[in-house]
Chains A and B, each alone.
Chain A
Amino acid sequence: MTTETTLDEHGHGEDGHADQPSFLAHQFDTPVQQFDAAKLGMWAFLGQELLFFSGLFVAYGVFRLWRPEAFAASSHELNKTMGMLNTIVLLFSSLTAALAVRAAQKGQKSQTSLLLVMTIVCAFIFLGVKWFEYEHKFHSGLLPGKWFGLAREFPSGDLMRGEEALPALPTGASVFFSLYFVMTGVHALHIIVGIGVLTWILLRNMKGEFSKEFFTPVDNVALYWHLVDLVWIYLFPLLYLID
């Protein structure tokens, strides 16, 4: 270790190694050490995210085991086609996110930007489809908990669909729709956060902050986006496709 510190023409400290690249934080010796630390931190966060969502999935499991017939009948009220459309949109956005990382790894700046924009557009399409689904449920009285059925006009608990009342769903349907709105709602919140971080990375990429040597933020944001996709991969069959 040398105690003498000189500055090179870029203003970086010389500490006896080759000159430090601008992206390398001073606490790391090498880019690969910084890369490994960042990825480890991201995976620890993603592990936490899985455990966070697991609370909702276990709640779903408990209530579905208790009331299988209510879950099946309620599931038929959801629009399979819209659910499948959103699944495909989200899978495609995962592809574009993975390809954005690939472009960043190869130092193709404009291609990275284009793929990030495509990912963000897919996120908005997903939210748009979700909005139409939610709106339909609001109008049909398929609401969580005590709001279920909008039953004031129909004390029997029958569902109001516009002018007509349809037969009541089995007991426990309100629990299904509570879980439906909380699970898809928390997932949609993750999509909104994803749009935020993808936009942040897009702006940094346009400023030219990333290169073949330093693409870690693109990589980590894509990992987050894939996790959002992972959660939906399970939500889709569990909510929409109950026999």
Chain B
Amino acid sequence: MSTHDDHGHGEADDGKVHSHISSLPQYVGIFLALIAFTLLTVAVSNIHLGKMNLVVAIVIASMKASLVILFFMHIRYDNKFNAMIIVVSLLFIGVFFAYTTNDTEHRGEVDLDQTVRILPSTGQPAPGGQPIDE
């Protein structure tokens, strides 16, 4: 199969497994970076940034996840098809999240005083909101 020539496993087509072996300093370096990111995310959580706290936490977690996937799980050196599987999985999680919250964030709630459906976030009449007959 050509897959093995693609990522530098050598040209010898002897049918044997020639997988990349990472160095010990690289593994330890990645681990220390992961610990540093953990301490950073705890430190940042003590600073009040409003909505940005969530964004910062997700960004730091994603950087940690990338390090684990690329180096501990060898995706950096692995068959690119395996990388595609994980990327497509993440893409579909994004679709799942976007479509679900697009629904749940735009449902009108009933305001009993105004007898009208309102947007919960702004208090304004919801698109398509109708007066309630009661």
A interface residues with partner B (beta carbon < 8 Å):
29-33, 35-36, 39-40, 43-44, 46-48, 50-51, 54, 57-58, 61-62, 65-66, 80, 84, 87-88, 91-92, 94-95, 97-99, 102, 105-106, 213-214, 216, 219, 222-223, 226, 229-230, 233-234, 236-238, 241-243
B68 and A233 contacting across the interface, CB-CB below 8 Å: yes
Other CB < 8 Å A-B pairs besides A40-B79, A40-B81, A84-B42, 17 of them? A30-B15, A31-B15, A43-B85, A51-B89, A51-B92, A51-B93, A58-B101, A61-B100, A61-B101, A62-B100, A66-B120, A102-B21, A219-B19, A241-B53, A242-B54, A243-B45, A243-B54
B73 and A223 contacting across the interface, CB-CB below 8 Å: yes
A47 and B86 contacting across the interface, CB-CB below 8 Å: yes
What CA separation (Å) do A70 and B61 show in the bound complex? 23
B17 at the interface (CB under 8 A from A): yes
B interface residues with partner A (beta carbon < 8 Å):
1, 3-4, 15-19, 21-22, 24, 27-28, 30-31, 34-35, 38-39, 41-42, 45, 48-50, 53-54, 57-58, 60-61, 64-65, 68-69, 71-73, 78-79, 81-82, 85-86, 88-90, 92-93, 96-97, 100-101, 104-105, 120
Q: Which residues of the partner chain A approach B49 to less than 8 Å between Cβ atoms?
A: 243
B68 and A39 contacting across the interface, CB-CB below 8 Å: no
What CA separation (Å) do A113 and B63 show in the bound complex? 30
Q: Which residues of the partner chain B approach A94 to less than 8 Å between Cβ atoms?
A: 31, 34, 68, 72
A91 and B21 contacting across the interface, CB-CB below 8 Å: no
Closest to B104 in A: A62
Q: Which residues of the partner chain A approach B38 to less than 8 Å between Cβ atoms?
A: 84, 87-88, 91, 236
Given that A92-B31, A102-B22, A234-B65 are contacting pairs, would A57 and B17 also be in contact in the complex, using a CB cutoff of 8 Å? no
